[in-house]
Chain A
Amino acid sequence: MNTSKLEASIGLSRKWDAREAGREVVESAIKNLNRPPNFFVLFSTIHYEKHGGFQELLNGVFDILPHNTPLIGGTVSGFSNNYGVYARGATALAVSYPHMDVAIGYGKNTKRNPKKAARQCAKMIKEGLKDSKYENKFLLNLISASELPDMPPFNRKKIIKSSLSIKLLIRFFSFSQYVLQKGAGRDDEVMRELAKLLPDYYMLGGGTLDDEKNLRNYQFFNNRVLKSSVVSLGIKTKYKLDVCTTHNMKKTDINFNITRNSKDGRIIHEIDGKPAASELQKRLNWSGDLITNENFYPTIYYFPLGFSSDGDNKNLGPRIIGAIYGESLVTVISAKSSYGSILTIDGKGLLKAIDDNLKTFHDKPNKPEFGLIASCTARLETLEEYIYQERERLLDYFSEKPFIIFYVGGESTYSPEKGLKFVNMSFNTAIFWKEVN
């Protein structure tokens, strides 16, 4: 047995009971390892909330996992791995390797004060890895995504037309954001701060979710269940790695300027001086009643807004319209530039984004050893059962090597060379390979 070899393994549980699922996801992951794991990354769907709760899920995990194993994780809308694609259950990545140092961190109150949360988290990572001599640095960041208050008319409806309730809603939003921490995730702000504080790390990020009702989501830090937080896994290792974001969106010739939006830039009220929702539908040549609550996903998700995060109007990233309240378009990313364009994509294009992404790793000297992939939940919801074609591409690429695609809301990568990419409807990889001997 080569004791210096990297071992990585995927765990899976489809049990409904939280405690049993926690045990099974660890047992299935560590059965393939000869040494205890250096870290454990856990993803779960929201269903365990009603089947024992997330504390019981983590209790089940630490019934089996050595108590000193660093663990981070969170809730996702679904996941895909070497075994299948699932919208219910739990999955985990366990890695064991002697030439690797690991630290985990967290920061609380991301919706109220994202910069402070990022600073708290970055400090823990820096402190934990200060004595490490390995030069390749990686940071996985799981951040609480947007949450709506659990009350009518929010729950489930993506389109709310009554003008009275809209004004109240938007007013209530700012109260809710700071006091209740129910509102925009502000995960883009957390990522920007982390990239500023830890600029020599390669980062992968995703916003934790429920089943897209957007009512609640959770983060895991060792045996603790957190809310409105960022949790991070920092790694320094001999293994090489890179990150890449692709989305394959095509720019249409429908361009506009945002002339009025909310203070934080996330809610668009007017486009070219006209009410935003009506103007958007007019530009798309859609009748006013074409988008409904029932067909929201298969219509609007294929036409996200394109925005520039770096001032380059030729390089537009997708920004999904998450809801339409009256004439206001609610998005989760704060845009700096007022220029925008409608982007579009079809199912084939969504799959090609994977090929485009994996191509960027083809010139690496060794095959992948393991991978973590943050993919937008909108990709899962629009591809539906065709999502299996996404997994088949990954199976081809990774062969027997472990990988997890976790479906999140608001996904990102950062590298010192390419900078921060924080968009929607994208495919984001962090892939590790052995350095040249």
Chain B
Amino acid sequence: MKDDPIARVLDDLLKFDDILACMVGRRGMIDSILPSDGTDSFKPEINEIWDIVRRTMDSQLSVISEFSRVGLKRLNFQLQDYDVMFYVIPDTENALVAIVRALANRGLIAVEMENARREIIRIREEEEKKLFATT
């Protein structure tokens, strides 16, 4: 995980006080990418609701896998005192997911989520180019 550039993008997002947890997720949590130290840097308050967040998140990721190909770009839902924001990575069934405090400034976090999404797309394109060059 430590050398994964996408994990480093997630590390950066987690430095925001209001982002409690983040990952690049996929239905069933298969091949999900976590920050460099796994879930260790998730803010402790997320532990109390992690099970319910994880289950809810997974059902939303199923929606994303079904509708990302027809242009679904973003999903948000509010769960108890938290917002869960999904930014779909185009042409994949994956989404950048962040759990933020409900009273956080979502407008400002949305800008940095979009920057992270763009960075993840750029990293993936570079990886694909490298793969293509070696085959």
Give every chain B residue within 8 A of A173 (Cβ-Cβ): none
- Chain B residues 1 to 24 lying within 8 A of chain A, measured CB to CB, are 12, 15-16
Give every chain A residue within 8 A of B105 (Cβ-Cβ): 77, 211-213, 297, 381
The interface centre, meaning the residue of B78, B109, B111 with most chain A CB atoms within 10 A of its CB, is B111
Check B15 against A384 for contact (C-beta < 8 Å): no
Q: Is A16 an interface residue (CB 8 A)?
A: yes
Q: Is B49 an interface residue (CB 8 A)?
A: no
CB distance from B124 to the nearest CB of A (A): 18
Give every chain A residue within 8 A of B78 (Cβ-Cβ): 294
Check B115 against A85 for contact (C-beta < 8 Å): yes
Check A87 against B103 for contact (C-beta < 8 Å): no
Q: Is A398 an interface residue (CB 8 A)?
A: no
Report the bound CA distance from A84 to B112 in whole Å: 11
Give every chain A residue within 8 A of B74 (Cβ-Cβ): 385
CB distance from B99 to the nearest CB of A (A): 15
Q: Is A388 an interface residue (CB 8 A)?
A: yes
Give every chain B residue within 8 A of A293 (Cβ-Cβ): 103
Check A387 against B111 for contact (C-beta < 8 Å): yes
CB distance from B106 to the nearest CB of A (A): 7
Give every chain B residue within 8 A of A88 (Cβ-Cβ): 16, 112
Check A381 against B108 for contact (C-beta < 8 Å): yes
Check A381 against B103 for contact (C-beta < 8 Å): no
Check B107 against A86 for contact (C-beta < 8 Å): no
Given A211-B105, A293-B103, A294-B78: A16 and B15 interface contact (C-beta under 8 Å): yes
Q: Is B63 an interface residue (CB 8 A)?
A: no
CB distance from A289 to the nearest CB of B (A): 15
Q: Is B57 an interface residue (CB 8 A)?
A: no
Q: Is B126 an interface residue (CB 8 A)?
A: no
Q: Is B121 an interface residue (CB 8 A)?
A: no
Give every chain B residue within 8 A of A211 (Cβ-Cβ): 105, 108
Give every chain B residue within 8 A of A388 (Cβ-Cβ): 114
Check B103 against A212 for contact (C-beta < 8 Å): no
Check A380 against B102 for contact (C-beta < 8 Å): no
Q: Is A157 an interface residue (CB 8 A)?
A: yes
- Chain B residues 83 to 135 lying within 8 A of chain A, measured CB to CB, are 102-103, 105-115
Check B107 against A381 for contact (C-beta < 8 Å): yes
Q: Which residue of A86, A212, A385 contacts B110 across the interface (Cβ within 8 Å)?
A: A385
Give every chain B residue within 8 A of A382 (Cβ-Cβ): 107
Report the bound CA distance from A261 to B112 in whole Å: 38
Check B110 against A384 for contact (C-beta < 8 Å): yes
Closest A residue by C-beta to B103: A156
Give every chain A residue within 8 A of B102 (Cβ-Cβ): 294
Q: Is A78 an interface residue (CB 8 A)?
A: yes
Report the bound CA distance from A388 to B102 in whole Å: 24
- Chain A residues 384 to 401 lying within 8 A of chain B, measured CB to CB, are 384-385, 387-388
Report the bound CA distance from A157 to B102 in whole Å: 11
Report the bound CA distance from A16 to B14 in whole Å: 12
Report the bound CA distance from A381 to B109 in whole Å: 9
Report the bound CA distance from A211 to B107 in whole Å: 10
Closest A residue by C-beta to B107: A381
Check A380 against B106 for contact (C-beta < 8 Å): no
Give every chain A residue within 8 A of B103 (Cβ-Cβ): 156-157, 293-294
Check A385 against B114 for contact (C-beta < 8 Å): yes
Given contacts A16-B12, A87-B109, A88-B112, 15 further A-B contacts (CB under 8 A): A77-B105, A78-B111, A84-B115, A85-B111, A85-B114, A86-B111, A87-B111, A156-B103, A211-B105, A212-B105, A213-B105, A380-B107, A384-B106, A384-B110, A385-B113
Q: Can you show 28 pairs from A to B with CB atoms below 8 A apart? A: A77-B105, A77-B108, A78-B111, A85-B115, A86-B111, A86-B112, A87-B111, A87-B112, A88-B16, A88-B112, A156-B103, A157-B103, A213-B105, A294-B102, A294-B103, A297-B105, A297-B107, A380-B107, A381-B106, A381-B107, A383-B107, A384-B110, A384-B114, A385-B74, A385-B110, A385-B113, A387-B111, A388-B114
**Chain B residues at the A interface, C-beta cutoff of 8 Å:** 12, 15-16, 74, 78, 102-103, 105-115
**Chain A residues at the B interface, C-beta cutoff of 8 Å:** 16, 77-78, 84-88, 156-157, 211-213, 293-294, 297, 380-385, 387-388
